[in-house]
Amino acid sequence: MVSPTVAPRLPVIAFRAFKAERELEIWGARSARGPYTKIATYRIAAMSGSLGPKLREGDLQVPEGFYRIDRFNPHSRFHLSLGLNYPNSSDRKRGQAGNLGEDIFIHGNHVSAGCMAMTDPIIEPIFKLALAAKSRGEKNIPVSVFPCRLTDSNWRKLNQEYATRPDLLAFWSSLRPGYLSFEQTRLWPRPHVDARGMYVWPDLKHSGTR
């Protein structure tokens, strides 16, 4: 874990979460246009479900995709919590209509039912950073949630392990350009969502893999 000592100099923040690695990264920048610098990396204490997006209420899956923080709850029964805007437009197109669920959080405690539990001591600096960014005018703190770090080697492993799940591979393939672009440019990815609920990247400058 890296102490978030540079936070006061970085007016905007963003989160990246990796399910397989169980890590939550916090990044900061002088403006939402970037480039971003890593502030801290925290271990996710508990995260229910498996790799793959959330498609319905009760599946205990942590969502995957591109979100934003839309709620701050300082009185959460999980100590402190930051709410994601799940379901987003991709979830609504890909998930079970009328039964998508809601209330997905990054929170304290060490239990999870589709959320990312960070423990009480760890959620405190995370919550403070997010609250400070909000107070400085950042209305939409972005959150990217990936099944894993989508490097070339991990991508090959996913293709081998999930060869019988072309639906998952197609969805992850739509996430990967955003991961690769940020790794190369440190500019926050801004996808669109197509009619199938897949992420598309009409404005992306990155090409190729690494």
The answer to whether 72 touches 8, Cβ cutoff 8 Å, is no
Closest C-alpha to 188, from 23, 14, 9: 14
Would you call 115 a catalytic residue per the annotation?
Answer: yes
Residue 206: active-site member = no
Cβ of 99: how many Cβ atoms within 10 Å?
11
79, 115, 192, 206: the active-site residue: 115
Task: Look at residues 129, 198, 175 and name the one whose alpha carbon lies nearest to residue 19.
Answer: 175
Picking from 191, 193, 209, the residue whose alpha carbon sits closest to that of residue 201 is: 191
Nearest CA to 112 out of 53, 59, 171, 69 is that of: 59
3-state helix, strand, coil in the chain (%, to 5): 25, 25, 50
| Active-site choice (75, 107, 148, 192) | 107
Active site (catalytic) residues: 107, 115
